[in-house]
Structure 1
């Protein structure tokens, strides 16, 4: 069972998410809140796996809420669910610790996929958002290539597909511990703080394409 909390100040949208996702097998909507402030006040007793977080809200916005949440309960996964397409929001949410992004116009199955993949240790980015990031990266100087080994590049590509360490270990016939070492080395060599940032780095440095 995946325990989910929804934080969004648009009441109709929030209620719609509760209704739609509450009907999905293995999804448990623990609670929903109309502000980051209210959510953080009540987080302690809650058992939460994934938070669907609006970015632009009254009071604490989604970025600030995510930063504070990660300080309190770093293991909780955050997916930004937003109508905004400004690149700065995405980068700030990634730096805050978000594991994925879904636009509010996304369908039920895309949301289900995002929650499932992020909960399993992967990451999820709406293709529309990735394409916007890729377009922005075209006119930027590509970062100096780090000395990645062929195996690290292989692991990097699977990470970018949203696979968890367990799934990558099964794909490459390696132990999960070995994959975790590769993940740590990738973050260190690319100077990225988390897997979401690593995906963006891979995109900018042409290790993945959007087809």
Structure 2
């Protein structure tokens, strides 16, 4: 599976990349440290990704705004929100923005493989602790 990581925390991105490539045996094809950097990424690279992992809270352009901008163009991207926590308002925004999944950073290493497989197969994946389900 080819994956893009978008997160403003360099240490987290590095650790996540190592986990994805060494433990899950997938490939990280690109990284971005902001929503702006993601939106200026070569579109061929973005479209080549099977799944994109996107932090939702970043400076300037958030992951939600970046996802909305990309999905507005109908690229059919499979983007998983990566966050510290989800409140009802964020979950609604995440689903409306076109995210295909949501994982908590605190649980990412135990649930990432399942989340990637579910979203890559075209199914919605939400962290099991999320009690609020989309309509």
Q: How far does residue 43 in structure 1 lie from its aligned partner after superposition? A: 3.5
RMSD: 1.4
Distance in 1 separating the partners of 2:51 and 2:134: 21
Q: How far does residue 107 in structure 1 lie from its aligned partner after superposition? A: 4.2
Q: Which residue of 1 is the match for residue 67 of structure 2? A: 66
Q: How far does residue 18 in structure 1 lie from its aligned partner after superposition? A: 0.5
Distance in 1 separating the partners of 2:82 and 2:7: 9
| C-alpha distance after superposition, 1:79-113 (max 9, x if no partner) | 00100232211110100101111000014241011
> Which protein has the bigger helix share?
1
Q: Which residue of 2 is the match for residue 161 of structure 1? A: none
Distance in 2 separating the partners of 1:78 and 1:43: 17
Q: 2:95–2:134: 8 Å Cα contact kept in structure 1?
A: no
Count of aligned positions: 132
Q: Which residue of 2 is the match for residue 5 of structure 1? A: 4
3-state secondary structure, aligned to 2:43: coil
Gaps of at least 5 residues in structure 1 are 134-198, 202-211
Q: 2:92–2:134: 8 Å Cα contact kept in structure 1?
A: no
> Which protein has the bigger strand share?
2
**Bigger-Rg structure (1/2):** 1
TM-score, structure 1 as length reference: 0.59
Q: How far does residue 73 in structure 1 lie from its aligned partner after superposition? A: 5.1
With a CA cutoff of 8 Å and minimum separation of 6, indicate the structure with the bigger relative contact order.
2
Q: How far does residue 3 in structure 1 lie from its aligned partner after superposition? A: 1.1
Q: Which runs of 4+ in 1 moved over 4 A?
A: none
